[in-house]
Amino acid sequence: MGSAAILTALPTQLFAEDEDKVVISILNTTDLHGHIVPTHMYPENDGSMVQDVGGLARCVTQIRAWQKENPNYILLDIGDLYQGTHVSWSTQGQLMIKLLNSMNYDAWVVGNHEFDWGFDPMVNVIKASTVPVLGSNAKVGGKWANKLEDPQHPLGKIKPYIIKEIAGFRIGIIGTITPGLPYWLAPRLLGDFTAEDPVKSIDYAMRKLRDEKVDAIVCACHMGLKSEIAKDDFANRIRQIAEENVGIDVIIAGHTHKDLGNQKVSGVPYTQANYFGIHCGRTDLVFSKSKRRLEFVNVGTKLMDASIAQDPMILSASAREREASDMELAREIGELKETLSKESEPGKAAESLLLLTRAMRFSLEKRKVTVDGVLHGSFYEFDIKAGPKTIASAWEIVPYENYISTAGLTRAELITVLEECLNVPHSSHSLDGFKVNVTSEGKKVAVHDVTLPDGKPLDEKVRYRIALNSFDAQSGGQRFPKLHEITTAPESKSEDINVQSREALIEYFTERKTIFKRDLA
Protein backbone atom coordinates (compact mmCIF):
# COMPACT_ATOMS: atom_id res chain seq x y z
CA MET A 1 0.00 0.00 0.00
CA GLY A 2 2.94 2.36 -0.48
CA SER A 3 4.85 4.23 2.17
CA ALA A 4 1.95 5.95 3.89
CA ALA A 5 1.91 6.46 7.62
CA ILE A 6 -1.04 4.70 9.25
CA LEU A 7 -1.63 7.68 11.50
CA THR A 8 -0.98 6.19 14.90
CA ALA A 9 0.26 8.30 17.81
CA LEU A 10 -1.24 11.51 16.45
CA PRO A 11 -0.19 14.89 17.86
CA THR A 12 -3.71 15.47 19.20
CA GLN A 13 -3.04 12.51 21.50
CA LEU A 14 0.62 13.23 22.16
CA PHE A 15 -0.03 16.85 23.16
CA ALA A 16 -3.44 16.38 24.78
CA GLU A 17 -2.17 17.36 28.22
CA ASP A 18 0.17 20.14 27.07
CA GLU A 19 -1.75 23.37 27.60
CA ASP A 20 0.77 25.33 25.52
CA LYS A 21 0.13 23.29 22.39
CA VAL A 22 -2.62 23.78 19.81
CA VAL A 23 -3.11 21.18 17.09
CA ILE A 24 -4.88 22.16 13.88
CA SER A 25 -5.74 19.19 11.64
CA ILE A 26 -5.99 19.54 7.88
CA LEU A 27 -8.10 16.68 6.53
CA ASN A 28 -8.15 15.97 2.83
CA THR A 29 -9.49 13.90 -0.01
CA THR A 30 -8.04 13.94 -3.52
CA ASP A 31 -8.62 12.44 -6.96
CA LEU A 32 -12.03 11.06 -5.98
CA HIS A 33 -12.96 10.90 -9.69
CA GLY A 34 -16.65 10.61 -8.86
CA HIS A 35 -16.25 7.57 -6.58
CA ILE A 36 -18.84 7.67 -3.81
CA VAL A 37 -18.91 4.00 -2.83
CA PRO A 38 -16.06 1.44 -2.62
CA THR A 39 -14.24 0.47 -5.77
CA HIS A 40 -10.96 -1.29 -6.59
CA MET A 41 -7.37 -0.26 -7.16
CA TYR A 42 -5.55 -0.26 -10.46
CA PRO A 43 -3.95 -3.63 -11.28
CA GLU A 44 -1.00 -4.49 -9.06
CA ASN A 45 2.29 -5.64 -10.61
CA ASP A 46 1.02 -9.21 -10.61
CA GLY A 47 -2.21 -8.20 -12.34
CA SER A 48 -4.38 -8.64 -9.23
CA MET A 49 -6.95 -6.08 -8.14
CA VAL A 50 -7.60 -4.99 -4.55
CA GLN A 51 -11.37 -4.87 -4.15
CA ASP A 52 -13.73 -3.09 -1.75
CA VAL A 53 -11.63 -0.06 -0.93
CA GLY A 54 -12.17 3.69 -1.02
CA GLY A 55 -15.10 5.88 -1.92
CA LEU A 56 -16.16 9.26 -0.52
CA ALA A 57 -18.67 7.62 1.85
CA ARG A 58 -15.84 5.86 3.72
CA CYS A 59 -13.65 8.96 3.68
CA VAL A 60 -16.45 10.97 5.26
CA THR A 61 -16.82 8.42 8.07
CA GLN A 62 -13.11 8.79 8.81
CA ILE A 63 -13.28 12.57 8.46
CA ARG A 64 -16.13 12.76 10.98
CA ALA A 65 -14.13 10.64 13.43
CA TRP A 66 -11.11 12.92 13.08
CA GLN A 67 -13.31 16.01 13.44
CA LYS A 68 -14.77 14.61 16.65
CA GLU A 69 -11.26 13.91 17.94
CA ASN A 70 -10.05 17.41 17.12
CA PRO A 71 -12.56 20.25 16.56
CA ASN A 72 -9.74 22.46 15.23
CA TYR A 73 -9.74 21.29 11.61
CA ILE A 74 -9.71 22.40 7.97
CA LEU A 75 -11.25 20.18 5.28
CA LEU A 76 -9.86 20.25 1.72
CA ASP A 77 -10.23 18.41 -1.58
CA ILE A 78 -7.17 18.52 -3.86
CA GLY A 79 -8.91 18.13 -7.24
CA ASP A 80 -10.08 15.73 -9.96
CA LEU A 81 -13.33 15.66 -8.08
CA TYR A 82 -15.99 14.38 -10.47
CA GLN A 83 -14.77 12.75 -13.72
CA GLY A 84 -14.49 8.96 -13.63
CA THR A 85 -17.81 7.30 -12.82
CA HIS A 86 -21.08 6.94 -14.65
CA VAL A 87 -23.10 8.32 -11.73
CA SER A 88 -21.04 11.52 -11.68
CA TRP A 89 -21.00 11.80 -15.49
CA SER A 90 -24.78 11.43 -15.62
CA THR A 91 -25.14 14.48 -13.34
CA GLN A 92 -22.32 16.41 -15.05
CA GLY A 93 -20.45 16.59 -11.75
CA GLN A 94 -23.29 18.23 -9.86
CA LEU A 95 -23.73 15.28 -7.49
CA MET A 96 -20.13 15.40 -6.29
CA ILE A 97 -20.19 19.14 -5.68
CA LYS A 98 -23.49 18.75 -3.82
CA LEU A 99 -21.81 16.24 -1.50
CA LEU A 100 -18.81 18.53 -0.94
CA ASN A 101 -21.18 21.39 -0.17
CA SER A 102 -23.08 19.22 2.32
CA MET A 103 -19.86 18.37 4.15
CA ASN A 104 -18.90 22.06 4.40
CA TYR A 105 -15.47 21.58 2.87
CA ASP A 106 -13.33 24.66 3.42
CA ALA A 107 -11.98 24.64 -0.16
CA TRP A 108 -11.33 22.47 -3.20
CA VAL A 109 -8.62 22.76 -5.85
CA VAL A 110 -9.37 22.63 -9.58
CA GLY A 111 -7.92 19.48 -11.20
CA ASN A 112 -7.15 18.70 -14.83
CA HIS A 113 -9.97 16.18 -15.23
CA GLU A 114 -12.48 18.88 -14.28
CA PHE A 115 -12.26 19.88 -17.98
CA ASP A 116 -12.77 16.45 -19.56
CA TRP A 117 -16.41 17.13 -20.38
CA GLY A 118 -15.69 20.62 -21.63
CA PHE A 119 -15.58 24.18 -20.38
CA ASP A 120 -19.30 24.66 -19.68
CA PRO A 121 -19.75 21.67 -17.32
CA MET A 122 -16.72 22.87 -15.34
CA VAL A 123 -18.19 26.37 -15.12
CA ASN A 124 -21.54 24.97 -13.98
CA VAL A 125 -19.90 22.96 -11.20
CA ILE A 126 -18.10 26.07 -9.96
CA LYS A 127 -21.38 27.99 -10.11
CA ALA A 128 -22.96 25.34 -7.89
CA SER A 129 -20.08 25.29 -5.41
CA THR A 130 -20.75 26.97 -2.07
CA VAL A 131 -17.23 25.84 -1.17
CA PRO A 132 -14.34 28.20 -2.06
CA VAL A 133 -12.49 27.12 -5.22
CA LEU A 134 -8.69 27.42 -5.39
CA GLY A 135 -6.29 27.87 -8.30
CA SER A 136 -3.46 30.35 -7.73
CA ASN A 137 -2.29 29.97 -11.33
CA ALA A 138 -5.73 30.12 -12.98
CA LYS A 139 -6.23 32.61 -15.79
CA VAL A 140 -9.39 33.19 -17.81
CA GLY A 141 -9.10 35.09 -21.06
CA GLY A 142 -5.61 36.16 -20.12
CA LYS A 143 -6.68 37.63 -16.76
CA TRP A 144 -6.12 36.16 -13.34
CA ALA A 145 -9.37 34.44 -12.36
CA ASN A 146 -9.80 36.41 -9.14
CA LYS A 147 -9.33 39.70 -11.02
CA LEU A 148 -11.87 39.25 -13.80
CA GLU A 149 -13.49 42.54 -14.73
CA ASP A 150 -16.95 40.94 -14.80
CA PRO A 151 -17.93 40.39 -11.14
CA GLN A 152 -20.65 37.98 -12.29
CA HIS A 153 -18.23 35.67 -14.11
CA PRO A 154 -18.46 32.31 -12.29
CA LEU A 155 -14.74 31.61 -12.66
CA GLY A 156 -14.06 34.75 -10.65
CA LYS A 157 -14.80 32.48 -7.68
CA ILE A 158 -11.43 30.78 -8.23
CA LYS A 159 -9.09 32.31 -5.64
CA PRO A 160 -5.32 31.96 -5.26
CA TYR A 161 -5.62 31.27 -1.54
CA ILE A 162 -7.85 31.42 1.51
CA ILE A 163 -7.05 32.23 5.13
CA LYS A 164 -8.68 30.22 7.90
CA GLU A 165 -8.46 31.37 11.50
CA ILE A 166 -8.60 28.36 13.80
CA ALA A 167 -8.03 28.39 17.56
CA GLY A 168 -6.41 31.82 17.33
CA PHE A 169 -3.98 30.90 14.53
CA ARG A 170 -4.19 32.06 10.91
CA ILE A 171 -3.58 29.37 8.28
CA GLY A 172 -2.98 30.39 4.68
CA ILE A 173 -3.92 27.77 2.10
CA ILE A 174 -2.69 28.17 -1.49
CA GLY A 175 -4.35 25.99 -4.14
CA THR A 176 -2.55 25.32 -7.42
CA ILE A 177 -3.47 23.52 -10.66
CA THR A 178 -1.13 21.30 -12.66
CA PRO A 179 0.26 23.22 -15.66
CA GLY A 180 -0.06 20.11 -17.85
CA LEU A 181 -3.56 20.94 -19.16
CA PRO A 182 -2.68 21.67 -22.81
CA TYR A 183 -0.83 18.35 -23.14
CA TRP A 184 -4.01 16.39 -22.37
CA LEU A 185 -6.95 18.56 -23.31
CA ALA A 186 -8.04 19.96 -26.66
CA PRO A 187 -8.35 23.76 -26.77
CA ARG A 188 -12.12 23.60 -27.16
CA LEU A 189 -12.41 21.75 -23.84
CA LEU A 190 -10.36 24.37 -21.99
CA GLY A 191 -12.12 27.37 -23.51
CA ASP A 192 -10.18 30.48 -22.49
CA PHE A 193 -8.84 28.89 -19.29
CA THR A 194 -5.09 28.51 -18.75
CA ALA A 195 -2.95 27.26 -15.86
CA GLU A 196 0.14 29.45 -15.60
CA ASP A 197 3.57 28.75 -14.06
CA PRO A 198 2.75 27.33 -10.61
CA VAL A 199 6.08 28.33 -9.05
CA LYS A 200 5.56 32.01 -9.80
CA SER A 201 1.91 32.02 -8.79
CA ILE A 202 2.71 30.35 -5.46
CA ASP A 203 5.46 32.89 -4.84
CA TYR A 204 2.93 35.69 -5.41
CA ALA A 205 0.39 34.10 -3.07
CA MET A 206 3.03 33.56 -0.39
CA ARG A 207 4.02 37.24 -0.47
CA LYS A 208 0.37 38.17 -0.02
CA LEU A 209 -0.02 35.74 2.87
CA ARG A 210 3.08 37.09 4.60
CA ASP A 211 1.52 40.55 4.35
CA GLU A 212 -1.55 39.05 6.01
CA LYS A 213 0.72 37.77 8.80
CA VAL A 214 -0.43 34.17 8.68
CA ASP A 215 1.03 31.67 11.15
CA ALA A 216 1.47 28.82 8.64
CA ILE A 217 1.37 28.38 4.87
CA VAL A 218 -0.11 25.21 3.35
CA CYS A 219 0.32 24.48 -0.36
CA ALA A 220 -2.50 22.32 -1.78
CA CYS A 221 -1.34 21.20 -5.22
CA HIS A 222 -3.20 19.27 -7.87
CA MET A 223 0.11 17.81 -8.98
CA GLY A 224 2.40 15.40 -7.18
CA LEU A 225 5.23 12.90 -7.07
CA LYS A 226 5.17 9.62 -8.98
CA SER A 227 7.46 8.01 -6.40
CA GLU A 228 9.64 9.03 -3.47
CA ILE A 229 12.56 9.68 -5.83
CA ALA A 230 10.71 10.88 -8.93
CA LYS A 231 11.93 14.02 -10.64
CA ASP A 232 9.68 16.89 -11.69
CA ASP A 233 8.09 16.81 -15.12
CA PHE A 234 5.91 19.06 -17.28
CA ALA A 235 2.84 18.44 -15.12
CA ASN A 236 4.36 17.94 -11.66
CA ARG A 237 6.62 20.69 -10.32
CA ILE A 238 6.61 19.71 -6.64
CA ARG A 239 10.38 19.68 -6.13
CA GLN A 240 10.83 23.08 -7.76
CA ILE A 241 7.95 24.50 -5.71
CA ALA A 242 9.52 23.24 -2.47
CA GLU A 243 13.00 24.47 -3.40
CA GLU A 244 12.11 27.93 -4.72
CA ASN A 245 9.21 28.94 -2.48
CA VAL A 246 10.97 29.17 0.87
CA GLY A 247 8.52 29.28 3.74
CA ILE A 248 5.99 26.61 2.77
CA ASP A 249 5.19 24.66 5.93
CA VAL A 250 3.58 21.63 4.27
CA ILE A 251 2.61 20.47 0.78
CA ILE A 252 -0.60 18.43 0.38
CA ALA A 253 -0.71 17.00 -3.14
CA GLY A 254 -2.45 14.62 -5.54
CA HIS A 255 -2.86 13.96 -9.27
CA THR A 256 -0.33 11.13 -9.73
CA HIS A 257 -2.48 8.48 -8.02
CA LYS A 258 0.29 7.37 -5.65
CA ASP A 259 0.00 6.87 -1.91
CA LEU A 260 3.00 8.79 -0.53
CA GLY A 261 1.65 9.66 2.87
CA ASN A 262 4.69 10.69 4.87
CA GLN A 263 7.52 12.30 2.90
CA LYS A 264 9.79 15.32 2.83
CA VAL A 265 10.65 17.25 -0.31
CA SER A 266 13.63 19.59 0.08
CA GLY A 267 12.95 19.55 3.79
CA VAL A 268 9.24 20.41 3.42
CA PRO A 269 6.76 17.91 4.92
CA TYR A 270 4.85 16.34 2.05
CA THR A 271 1.78 14.10 1.91
CA GLN A 272 -0.23 12.63 -0.95
CA ALA A 273 -3.23 10.33 -0.79
CA ASN A 274 -3.74 8.36 -3.96
CA TYR A 275 -7.11 8.15 -5.75
CA PHE A 276 -10.80 7.13 -5.61
CA GLY A 277 -10.81 7.79 -1.84
CA ILE A 278 -8.73 4.65 -1.28
CA HIS A 279 -6.73 6.67 1.23
CA CYS A 280 -7.79 9.73 3.18
CA GLY A 281 -5.21 12.30 4.28
CA ARG A 282 -4.51 14.09 7.52
CA THR A 283 -1.93 16.74 8.38
CA ASP A 284 -1.50 17.99 11.94
CA LEU A 285 0.05 21.40 12.56
CA VAL A 286 1.26 21.75 16.16
CA PHE A 287 1.59 25.31 17.43
CA SER A 288 3.00 26.77 20.62
CA LYS A 289 0.60 29.32 22.12
CA SER A 290 3.28 31.04 24.17
CA LYS A 291 5.77 31.33 21.31
CA ARG A 292 3.09 31.97 18.65
CA ARG A 293 4.78 29.67 16.16
CA LEU A 294 4.45 26.37 14.35
CA GLU A 295 6.66 23.78 16.03
CA PHE A 296 5.82 20.44 14.42
CA VAL A 297 4.08 18.99 11.36
CA ASN A 298 2.78 15.42 11.21
CA VAL A 299 1.56 14.08 7.84
CA GLY A 300 0.00 10.78 6.83
CA THR A 301 -2.77 8.91 5.06
CA LYS A 302 -5.11 6.14 6.13
CA LEU A 303 -6.43 3.24 4.05
CA MET A 304 -10.21 3.24 3.56
CA ASP A 305 -10.83 -0.51 3.59
CA ALA A 306 -13.79 -2.58 4.78
CA SER A 307 -13.02 -1.73 8.41
CA ILE A 308 -14.32 1.79 7.71
CA ALA A 309 -18.12 2.05 7.48
CA GLN A 310 -19.79 4.12 4.78
CA ASP A 311 -21.30 7.37 5.97
CA PRO A 312 -25.13 7.10 5.93
CA MET A 313 -25.65 10.76 5.04
CA ILE A 314 -23.49 10.50 1.92
CA LEU A 315 -25.21 7.25 0.94
CA SER A 316 -28.66 8.76 1.46
CA ALA A 317 -27.85 12.00 -0.36
CA SER A 318 -26.61 10.08 -3.41
CA ALA A 319 -29.03 7.14 -3.33
CA ARG A 320 -31.39 8.29 -6.09
CA GLU A 321 -28.61 9.11 -8.53
CA ARG A 322 -26.68 5.91 -7.79
CA GLU A 323 -29.77 3.76 -8.29
CA ALA A 324 -30.53 5.43 -11.64
CA SER A 325 -26.89 4.99 -12.68
CA ASP A 326 -26.84 1.32 -11.69
CA MET A 327 -29.96 0.70 -13.77
CA GLU A 328 -28.45 2.41 -16.80
CA LEU A 329 -25.12 0.60 -16.44
CA ALA A 330 -26.97 -2.73 -16.41
CA ARG A 331 -28.78 -1.96 -19.67
CA GLU A 332 -27.80 -4.40 -22.45
CA ILE A 333 -26.58 -2.83 -25.69
CA GLY A 334 -25.73 -5.91 -27.75
CA GLU A 335 -23.84 -9.18 -27.81
CA LEU A 336 -20.29 -10.17 -28.65
CA LYS A 337 -20.40 -13.65 -30.15
CA GLU A 338 -16.73 -14.58 -29.71
CA THR A 339 -14.02 -13.63 -27.23
CA LEU A 340 -11.58 -11.04 -28.58
CA SER A 341 -7.94 -11.56 -27.73
CA LYS A 342 -5.77 -8.82 -26.25
CA GLU A 343 -2.64 -10.34 -27.85
CA SER A 344 -1.00 -8.71 -30.85
CA GLU A 345 2.29 -8.26 -32.64
CA PRO A 346 3.99 -4.85 -33.03
CA GLY A 347 2.26 -2.86 -35.76
CA LYS A 348 -0.81 -5.08 -35.79
CA ALA A 349 -3.98 -4.31 -33.83
CA ALA A 350 -5.25 -6.85 -31.30
CA GLU A 351 -8.79 -8.14 -31.82
CA SER A 352 -9.86 -6.36 -28.64
CA LEU A 353 -8.55 -3.04 -29.98
CA LEU A 354 -10.21 -3.57 -33.36
CA LEU A 355 -13.58 -3.57 -31.59
CA LEU A 356 -12.98 0.05 -30.62
CA THR A 357 -11.41 1.22 -33.87
CA ARG A 358 -14.23 -0.29 -35.95
CA ALA A 359 -16.79 1.30 -33.62
CA MET A 360 -15.14 4.69 -34.14
CA ARG A 361 -15.20 4.24 -37.91
CA PHE A 362 -18.86 3.15 -37.77
CA SER A 363 -19.82 6.20 -35.71
CA LEU A 364 -17.96 8.56 -38.03
CA GLU A 365 -19.57 7.07 -41.13
CA LYS A 366 -23.00 7.67 -39.55
CA ARG A 367 -22.03 11.32 -39.35
CA LYS A 368 -20.84 11.29 -42.96
CA VAL A 369 -17.19 11.62 -41.91
CA THR A 370 -14.97 9.38 -44.04
CA VAL A 371 -11.60 8.22 -42.74
CA ASP A 372 -8.96 5.94 -44.18
CA GLY A 373 -7.83 4.55 -40.86
CA VAL A 374 -7.95 4.78 -37.08
CA LEU A 375 -4.91 5.23 -34.85
CA HIS A 376 -5.63 4.15 -31.29
CA GLY A 377 -4.42 2.19 -28.30
CA SER A 378 -6.09 -0.03 -25.69
CA PHE A 379 -7.07 1.19 -22.24
CA TYR A 380 -7.18 -2.36 -20.94
CA GLU A 381 -5.04 -5.47 -20.67
CA PHE A 382 -7.58 -8.24 -20.92
CA ASP A 383 -9.46 -10.30 -23.47
CA ILE A 384 -12.98 -9.08 -24.13
CA LYS A 385 -15.13 -12.06 -23.29
CA ALA A 386 -17.98 -13.24 -25.47
CA GLY A 387 -21.48 -12.61 -24.21
CA PRO A 388 -24.05 -9.86 -23.67
CA LYS A 389 -22.59 -6.37 -23.35
CA THR A 390 -23.97 -3.55 -21.23
CA ILE A 391 -23.32 0.13 -20.73
CA ALA A 392 -21.03 -0.97 -17.89
CA SER A 393 -19.03 -3.06 -20.38
CA ALA A 394 -18.47 0.03 -22.51
CA TRP A 395 -17.25 1.98 -19.46
CA GLU A 396 -14.84 -0.83 -18.63
CA ILE A 397 -13.42 -0.91 -22.16
CA VAL A 398 -13.28 2.92 -22.50
CA PRO A 399 -12.93 4.56 -19.05
CA TYR A 400 -12.25 8.09 -20.35
CA GLU A 401 -14.37 10.69 -22.15
CA ASN A 402 -12.04 11.31 -25.10
CA TYR A 403 -13.50 12.94 -28.18
CA ILE A 404 -12.67 11.78 -31.70
CA SER A 405 -10.46 13.93 -33.93
CA THR A 406 -9.43 13.47 -37.56
CA ALA A 407 -6.30 14.68 -39.34
CA GLY A 408 -4.71 14.23 -42.77
CA LEU A 409 -1.27 12.53 -42.75
CA THR A 410 1.13 11.67 -45.52
CA ARG A 411 2.85 8.29 -45.83
CA ALA A 412 6.05 9.74 -44.34
CA GLU A 413 4.11 11.26 -41.44
CA LEU A 414 2.30 7.99 -40.78
CA ILE A 415 5.65 6.21 -40.51
CA THR A 416 6.95 8.90 -38.15
CA VAL A 417 3.99 8.84 -35.76
CA LEU A 418 3.71 5.06 -35.76
CA GLU A 419 7.38 4.65 -34.91
CA GLU A 420 6.89 7.13 -32.08
CA CYS A 421 3.79 5.35 -30.76
CA LEU A 422 5.24 1.86 -31.00
CA ASN A 423 8.35 2.83 -29.04
CA VAL A 424 6.63 4.51 -26.11
CA PRO A 425 6.66 2.22 -23.03
CA HIS A 426 3.36 0.41 -22.45
CA SER A 427 1.84 1.81 -25.66
CA SER A 428 -0.54 -0.54 -27.47
CA HIS A 429 -1.24 1.80 -30.38
CA SER A 430 -1.92 0.41 -33.84
CA LEU A 431 -3.12 1.82 -37.14
CA ASP A 432 -6.28 0.08 -38.30
CA GLY A 433 -7.04 0.36 -42.02
CA PHE A 434 -3.47 -0.02 -43.28
CA LYS A 435 -0.74 -2.63 -43.32
CA VAL A 436 2.24 -1.64 -41.19
CA ASN A 437 5.58 -3.30 -41.89
CA VAL A 438 7.83 -3.37 -38.83
CA THR A 439 10.82 -5.13 -37.40
CA SER A 440 11.72 -5.25 -33.73
CA GLU A 441 15.01 -5.75 -31.98
CA GLY A 442 14.63 -6.02 -28.25
CA LYS A 443 12.32 -3.19 -27.19
CA LYS A 444 13.09 -1.08 -30.27
CA VAL A 445 10.52 -1.15 -33.09
CA ALA A 446 11.37 0.15 -36.57
CA VAL A 447 8.57 1.04 -39.00
CA HIS A 448 9.74 0.40 -42.55
CA ASP A 449 6.59 1.16 -44.48
CA VAL A 450 2.84 1.76 -44.34
CA THR A 451 0.82 0.40 -47.26
CA LEU A 452 -2.77 -0.24 -48.20
CA PRO A 453 -4.18 -3.45 -46.68
CA ASP A 454 -3.45 -5.35 -49.90
CA GLY A 455 0.20 -4.25 -49.82
CA LYS A 456 -0.09 -1.62 -52.53
CA PRO A 457 2.03 1.48 -51.83
CA LEU A 458 0.55 4.73 -50.59
CA ASP A 459 0.60 7.79 -52.80
CA GLU A 460 3.34 10.07 -51.43
CA LYS A 461 1.32 13.19 -52.34
CA VAL A 462 -1.93 12.14 -50.69
CA ARG A 463 -2.93 12.99 -47.13
CA TYR A 464 -4.80 10.04 -45.67
CA ARG A 465 -7.57 10.88 -43.22
CA ILE A 466 -6.90 9.30 -39.82
CA ALA A 467 -9.17 9.22 -36.78
CA LEU A 468 -7.67 9.35 -33.30
CA ASN A 469 -8.74 10.51 -29.87
CA SER A 470 -8.37 14.06 -28.63
CA PHE A 471 -6.05 13.06 -25.79
CA ASP A 472 -3.51 11.52 -28.17
CA ALA A 473 -3.86 14.49 -30.52
CA GLN A 474 -2.75 16.75 -27.64
CA SER A 475 0.39 14.53 -27.26
CA GLY A 476 -1.08 12.10 -24.72
CA GLY A 477 0.65 13.91 -21.87
CA GLN A 478 3.85 14.50 -23.87
CA ARG A 479 4.14 10.83 -24.76
CA PHE A 480 3.52 11.60 -28.44
CA PRO A 481 4.98 15.03 -29.22
CA LYS A 482 5.56 14.24 -32.91
CA LEU A 483 1.97 13.05 -33.27
CA HIS A 484 0.77 16.32 -31.74
CA GLU A 485 3.02 18.41 -33.96
CA ILE A 486 1.94 16.63 -37.13
CA THR A 487 -1.80 16.39 -36.46
CA THR A 488 -2.10 20.02 -35.35
CA ALA A 489 -0.11 21.47 -38.27
CA PRO A 490 -2.31 23.58 -40.61
CA GLU A 491 -1.76 21.24 -43.56
CA SER A 492 -3.27 18.29 -41.68
CA LYS A 493 -6.61 20.15 -41.53
CA SER A 494 -7.51 18.48 -38.26
CA GLU A 495 -11.14 18.44 -37.18
CA ASP A 496 -12.80 17.76 -33.84
CA ILE A 497 -15.82 15.49 -34.04
CA ASN A 498 -18.46 15.93 -31.36
CA VAL A 499 -18.60 12.28 -30.37
CA GLN A 500 -16.65 10.41 -27.72
CA SER A 501 -15.00 7.05 -28.35
CA ARG A 502 -17.11 5.40 -25.65
CA GLU A 503 -20.25 6.79 -27.26
CA ALA A 504 -19.08 5.29 -30.54
CA LEU A 505 -18.67 1.86 -28.93
CA ILE A 506 -22.16 2.00 -27.40
CA GLU A 507 -23.58 3.13 -30.74
CA TYR A 508 -21.83 0.27 -32.54
CA PHE A 509 -23.32 -2.39 -30.28
CA THR A 510 -26.73 -0.76 -30.11
CA GLU A 511 -27.17 -0.59 -33.87
CA ARG A 512 -25.35 -3.77 -34.89
CA LYS A 513 -26.87 -5.81 -32.02
CA THR A 514 -24.55 -8.77 -32.61
CA ILE A 515 -20.84 -8.56 -33.36
CA PHE A 516 -18.71 -11.42 -34.69
CA LYS A 517 -14.97 -11.64 -35.20
CA ARG A 518 -15.57 -11.53 -38.94
CA ASP A 519 -17.00 -8.01 -38.52
CA LEU A 520 -13.54 -6.92 -37.38
CA ALA A 521 -11.56 -8.70 -40.11
Lowest mean pLDDT of 72-81, 397-406, 437-446, name the range: 437-446
Asked whether the predicted pLDDT for residue 2 surpasses 50, the reply is no
pLDDT at site 519: 93
Axis crossing angle, helix 351-366 with helix 501-512, rounded to the nearest 10: 90
Q: Which among 320, 321, 338 is positioned nearest to 385, based on CA atoms?
A: 338
Asked whether the predicted pLDDT for residue 518 surpasses 70, the reply is yes
Q: Rounded to an integer, what distance in angstroms lies between the CA atom of residue 325 and that of residue 91?
A: 10
pLDDT at site 45: 63
Q: Is the dihedral of CA 499, 505, 511, 512 positive or negative?
A: positive
> What global pTM score does this model have?
0.94
pLDDT, averaged across the chain: 94
Asked whether the predicted pLDDT for residue 11 surpasses 70, the reply is no
Asked whether the predicted pLDDT for residue 308 surpasses 90, the reply is yes
pLDDT at site 4: 37
Q: Which among 165, 178, 173, 197 is positioned nearest to 248, based on CA atoms?
A: 173
Q: Rounded to an integer, what distance in angstroms lies between the CA atom of residue 374 and that of residue 33?
A: 29
Over the stretch 286-297, which tens digit does the pLDDT of each residue have?
999 999 999 999
In the chain the domains, ranked by start, together with CATH numbers, are 21-41+49-326 (3.60.21.10), 332-520 (3.90.780.10)
Phi, psi of 459 (to 5 degrees): -75, 120
Asked whether the predicted pLDDT for residue 12 surpasses 80, the reply is no
Q: Rounded to an integer, what distance in angstroms lies between the CA atom of residue 310 and that of residue 397?
A: 28
Over the stretch 77-108, which tens digit does the pLDDT of each residue have?
999 999 999 999 999 999 999 999 999 999 99
Residue 305: pLDDT band (50, 70, 90) is very high
Q: Rounded to an integer, what distance in angstroms lies between the CA atom of residue 286 and that of residue 294?
A: 6
Q: Rounded to an integer, what distance in angstroms lies between the CA atom of residue 273 and that of residue 231?
A: 18
Asked whether the predicted pLDDT for residue 37 surpasses 60, the reply is yes
**Could you give the 3-state DSSP secondary structure of residue 401?**
coil
CA distances (Å), origin 356, targets 362, 444, 455, 515: 10, 26, 24, 12
Asked whether the predicted pLDDT for residue 6 surpasses 50, the reply is no
Instruction: Give the residue-averaged pLDDT of 137-161.
Output: 93
Q: Which among 49, 39, 7 is positioned nearest to 278, based on CA atoms?
A: 39
